[in-house]
């Protein structure tokens, strides 16, 4: 509950809404956590799933997360946070940097990333077919480096990319 409250407050502080639906952003981290709960997981993985976008999208810092939830959760969130910045180049260049980062992550972080991809794909594929073509290519590249995440989630994420 503390992680949910932290994430809801962080995303709410910037009035972040879910793209395409306009729902409060917290629905996405909750969906990611629910997907992670469906496979073998640790409590830290569930907390990190709820917090996975806070540093990237809100004023929250890794230090805030470590202070509130400990170093293991902060470490997972660090792996799940994009390292690229707009100054790193175009989308392809930025996504290559982020791919190299997540490729080095532990299996627990990769499992959360797979859950994130699954939830994002369901929305993008249904509501933005033009962007889906770009996102699908990026997702296929990510799947190559996420194989040591949970096998069930990997298969589910891969199946979403089938024509």
Residues classed as catalytic:
56-57
DSSP character for 40? S
End-to-end CA distance of the chain: 38
**Could you give the CA distance from residue 103 to residue 107 in angstroms, rounded to a whole number?**
10
């Amino acid at each position: 509950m503390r992680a949910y409250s932290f994430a809801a407050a962080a995303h709410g502080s910037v009035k972040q809404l879910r793209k395409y639906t306009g729902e409060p952003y917290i629905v996405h981290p909750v969906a990611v956590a629910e997907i992670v709960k469906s496979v073998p997981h640790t409590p830290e993985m569930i907390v990190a799933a709820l917090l996975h976008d806070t540093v990237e999208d809100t004023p929250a810092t890794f230090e805030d997360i470590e202070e509130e939830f400990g170093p293991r959760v902060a470490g997972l969130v660090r792996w799940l946070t994009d390292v690229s910045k707009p100054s790193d180049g175009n989308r392809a260049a930025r996504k290559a940097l982020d791919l190299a980062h997540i490729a080095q992550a532990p299996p627990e972080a990769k499992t959360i990333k797979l859950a994130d991809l699954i939830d994002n794909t369901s929305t993008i594929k249904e509501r933005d077919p033009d962007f889906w073509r770009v996102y699908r290519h990026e997702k296929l590249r990510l799947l190559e480096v996420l194989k040591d995440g949970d096998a069930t989630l990997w298969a589910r994420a891969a199946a979403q990319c089938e024509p």
